[in-house]
Structure 1
Amino acid sequence: MTSLLDWIEVYSAQDCIEANMLKGLLELDSIKVQLKGEALGGALGEIPFDQIQVKICVPQIKQRQAEKILLEYQSKHLVVCDWKCQNCNEYNGCGFEICWSCLKPK
């Protein structure tokens, strides 16, 4: 059984800098945030890149509010030619023809 206080992942940040910036943005709207994987940045090169992304989690009751804020952030900060993989939902830069995360073609 889930509770309204359960934490849910709402975003995968590219790095600790982006994660902490978004944490601050969400906290401005009184949304509590937990960052998962923040300490794994030092393992870059030892473990796969997609496993060291920092996950942003919020209480389930705040999910919609957080997703609205994050969607606005994404719409302002994505380069026009960036694309989202249909297989794993990760964002890829303009220069990628194959998803960096799951290796599926554009």
Structure 2
Amino acid sequence: MKKLFTSQDAFELQAVRSELDALSIPYMVKNEFASGAIGELPWQDSQQEVWLVDDSWYARASRVIEPFIQKPNDKALSSEDWICGECSEQNGAAFDVCWQCGAEN
């Protein structure tokens, strides 16, 4: 067995499961009902994980989860600060909106 995917986002995990189901790729979910143990167990030990039952499916399953792992987000990849065109305030790369006047980048 090989671990394929894990996420703190339950909706993302369900989306992966749905994709695998649609392609009839055999998998199992580890810690599916362990969320109630958070606090008694470390969060890493109670996080849901998708495991392949048969390693021979790994290449195909990897193509399924690739979009979930890469998560294209151009603004998150930008590491350059920007200057607001409205008030000339310098803003960090993490901001989509000027913190001074509220104008969008």
TM-score, normalising length: structure 2: 0.60
**Counterpart in 2 of 1:80?**
76
- Is 1:37 paired with 2:13? no
Please give the residue correspondences for 1:1-106 in structure 2 after superposition, counting only pairs within 5 Å.
7-58=1-52, 59-76=54-71, 80=76
RMSD across aligned positions (CA): 2.3
Gap runs ≥5 in structure 1? 1-6, 82-93, 95-106
By how many angstroms is 1:16 displaced?
Answer: 4.4
- Taking the aligned partners of 1:77 and 1:52, their CA distance within structure 2 comes to 27
- Taking the aligned partners of 1:54 and 1:11, their CA distance within structure 2 comes to 9
TM-score, normalising length: structure 1: 0.59
CA gap 1:12/1:77 in 2 versus in 1, 3 angstroms: farther
Gap runs ≥5 in structure 2? 78-93, 95-105
Q: SS at the partner of 1:38?
A: coil
Q: Is the 8 A contact 2:16 2:64 kept in 1?
A: no
